Amino acid sequence: MVRLFAVKIIERNEFERYMPFIRDTVENNNNSPLIGHYTIKQRSLLGKMMTHKILSSEFGISPDAIKIITNEHNKPALESQSNIHFNLSHSGDWVIAAFSSKPVGIDIEKIKPVNLQIAWRFFSENEVEFLKSLPEDIREHWFLKLWTIKESYLKALGTGLSRPMRSFSVNYRNGDFKIIDTENPTEVYLKHQNFKINYLLSVAAFKNEIADEITIYEAQDLLE
């Protein structure tokens, strides 16, 4: 079963109370510098803290034994556990994670106006034709749907955006999405859903059971 988890960022003054503890826990274990804009920093740190929490409480791994590494495309993995795969994404006020016994990718995007020239430039011909066939007032929403699916798929493969998005297609038929990829014939399972009021979420996995429910943590639970 692919399990899903999420945490919402908190107010800056409240978050900063935990910074000394976070430095000790995250930087010492992962060699991750605390740099960048405050919101980006908090998303990154909460993602790391949530990962540690899940690995410890859900998988029974001792905190001292958790060592996270990344591949050449920055996909995270456990150094000593080949049967636990995970992936994270963040957008707006939310950080979200997927855990599975097989490779998995996840992407979340806050619904907002987009420049459809991105689609014309980076999507496959079939996807561009599909978007252009839709009524103009829903094209941006469907662009974000396709984007989250495509990015979750590339993250599941472990390539991220180093592989061109137009090198494969997402087909939509009879309410279902399907990946068409001649370079990777392995079947991938997709789940796309709305999250909260104004977010879209997609999961791509090489395991056909993806949880319907998302376990939501309070940030304070991760930081205390």
Burial of 207 (0-12, 13-18, 19+ CB in 10 A): middle
Number of domains into which the chain is organized: 1
CA-nearest of 189, 8, 191 to 90 is: 8
Lowest mean pLDDT among 2-6, 64-68, 147-151: 64-68
Task: From residue 64, give the alpha-carbon distance in Å to each of 19, 45, 56.
Answer: 20, 18, 10
d(CA 156, CA 160): 8
User: Residue 190: pLDDT above 90?
Assistant: yes
Question: Is the predicted pLDDT of residue 11 greater than 70, yes or no?
Answer: yes
**Is the pLDDT reported for residue 170 higher than 90?**
yes
Residue 148 has what pLDDT? 97
- Using pLDDT thresholds of 50, 70 and 90, give the confidence band for residue 126: very high
Residue 9: which domain range? 2-223
CATH of the domain at 106: 3.90.470.20
Per-residue model confidence as pLDDT tens digits over 29-75: 444 444 456 677 788 889 989 999 999 999 999 988 999 999 888 88
Give tens-digit pLDDT for 82-107. 899 999 999 999 999 999 999 999 99
Question: How does residue 14 score in pLDDT terms, banded at 50, 70 and 90?
Answer: confident
- Residue 31: predicted pLDDT: 44
Share of the chain above pLDDT 70, in %: 90
CA dihedral 18, 60, 97, 67 (to 10 degrees): 70
Rounded distance, CA 122 to CA 106, Å?
19
